Chains A and B, each alone.
Chain A
């Protein structure tokens, strides 16, 4: 159990400012996802919380205790690395037992805990193997096993699924969510994949160039993005951003409409254009449309939708689903 608080935390590498100064409150038991494009400082922020990097300024506290100067091992957090960072010369069992051994726990108790963790993670048959003899998903589970045996106050995950193939990724995503339900421990999860963020998080922190763009639940971010960055980052396919007369008519510099909120009508609509390529997924059809003024939009039609390339179409945004942004990119509410 632990609540994590960041106050004005900043990080510089030499002269390069990676995180200019950031406040964040993570409540006990929350599943928080840091999401943002590559290089925006997600890993750095996570490593600051872990204690693997020193802050350049500000304070970090866990459960009200200031841990800014505390070494990583005594922050009570466990981390799962993107590379898994398993110890290659140790068996799976020894890998999982390592933190307990370092804590000076006696052998019988270690054995019991390792067996317990292995059972939870379906690793019982592999305890004597070396990490290199395991598949990617199994290695991932060993890394998680090594984190959970310590019964830490919080888990830190740094893009743990990015080395897995797509099918396995969906599976592991569920397993990690399931683990969170069981343990009810605070988890901070870093990813650049907004789908992972949307599906797993209680709370998403959208980062851009070391700054927090918005904090909120997945649906809050989806329905009320604070600015253009969040609007463009959350949602798949991306939100359509339209400028020009249509935006001005709606009293904004830019208007955002999600593909799923565009109604397609061959006989015309508020926006008109020419159909381009259609992507048929079976469950949905994504249609790329070039507006008469040259801007491109994507519209999503449920199920199968036939539209020939070059056909004229009209588009009408669903009522109340327009997102309006001013010239600075901030949402107009």
Chain B
């Protein structure tokens, strides 16, 4: 944008998109804010103004705290598995081996499976305590079967979601690995660094930016996981995240007011998390 003229032209060009996005965001937000101050239920007739009452209900609901915890565990768990696992798989795929391109394509496959389908497949084919693949393997090893979804609901969901996001993390991290110049690794090798030192001193710092991108993007999506919970455990305090809990408020309790208050709380929490994230890792994105 060198001149005043190009600047104003650019503004005019961008305006429609910016206005559309703004309206798209502000209308639902305003409506939610408005609903959150009403006693608004599917079963009531009037919708009187009640101020902050819905917020009190929501925040003191015992299900809120567990949902909040579950959200954090889910996000951190999936991030941990995908970043560590993605790095390891990317390191493997970066080696030259026979059938490399076919394997790369296969690794990407889970990303193209719809969340509902993925969750169903995992629930019925993998984690079923009687005929699931995992139980079969455990049985073959002489170990007792595990009823994943009943005994470890949140862990099961973390596994499923991590499986879905692993390809994304792997792809981004692999791209970053491939952009690391061979010279730097060779220089480090000449300087006496072994494979582990090269990884920690050269490769990992080089991948910092890519890891940041993976963390930021995945956090946004994992905060709003819904289908996987719905299909596998159907919710409950042990596996509902905030998104699911708020949806429950409408579906089971028919309580639009409290659900709206929850939505606003979730927006605030998500913003706090993202401010933290951006502060924590965002500086990696600078030049």
Contact = CB atoms under 8 A, between A and B. Distances in A.
B189 A87 contact: no
Contacts of A85: 181, 183-184, 186-187
Nearest to A74: B192
B202 interface: yes
Contacts of A16: none
Given A87-B201, A87-B202, A98-B201, A73 B190 contact: yes
A50 B187 CA distance: 11
Interface of A: 50, 52, 71-73, 77-79, 81, 83, 85, 87-90, 98-99, 102-103, 146, 150
B287 to A, nearest CB: 8
Contacts of A72: 186, 189-190
Given A87-B184, A87-B202, A98-B201, A78 B192 contact: no
A83 B192 contact: no
Interface in B134-168: none
Given A72-B189, A98-B191, A99-B192, A81 B183 contact: yes
Contact of A89 (B186, B187, B190, B206): B206
A103 B201 CA distance: 14
Contacts of A71: 189
B181 A52 contact: no
Contact of A52 (B189, B197, B201, B202): B189
Contacts of A81: 183, 186-187
Given A85-B184, A89-B205, A102 B193 contact: yes
Contacts of B191: 73, 98-99, 102, 146, 150
Interface string B167-189: 00000000000000101101111
15 contacts: A72-B186, A72-B189, A72-B190, A73-B189, A79-B187, A85-B187, A87-B205, A89-B205, A90-B205, A98-B188, A98-B193, A99-B191, A99-B192, A102-B197, A103-B192
Contacts of A79: 186-187, 190
A88 B209 CA distance: 13
B190 A50 contact: yes
Nearest to B186: A52
A102 B192 contact: yes
A7 to B, nearest CB: 23
Contacts of A102: 188, 191-193, 197
Given A52-B189, A85-B181, 4 more contacts: A79-B187, A87-B187, A90-B205, A150-B191
Interface in B198-253: 201-202, 205-206, 208
B148 to A, nearest CB: 41
Nearest to B205: A89
A83 B181 CA distance: 10
A85 B186 CA distance: 8
Contacts of B189: 52, 71-73
B66 to A, nearest CB: 41
The 8 lowest CB-CB distance pairs between A and B, nearest first, are: A85-B183, A99-B191, A85-B187, A102-B192, A73-B192, A89-B205, A102-B193, A72-B190
A77 B192 CA distance: 10
Contacts of B193: 73, 98, 102
Nearest to A89: B205
Nearest to A79: B190
A104 to B, nearest CB: 9
A146 B192 CA distance: 12
Contacts of A77: 190
Nearest to A102: B192
A81 B205 CA distance: 21
Contacts of A150: 191
A35 B190 CA distance: 23
A14 to B, nearest CB: 13
A293 B121 CA distance: 85
A218 to B, nearest CB: 29
A6 B175 CA distance: 39
Nearest to B208: A89
Contacts of A89: 205-206, 208
B264 to A, nearest CB: 41
A73 B190 CA distance: 5
Contacts of B201: 87, 98
A78 B202 CA distance: 18
Contacts of A88: 206
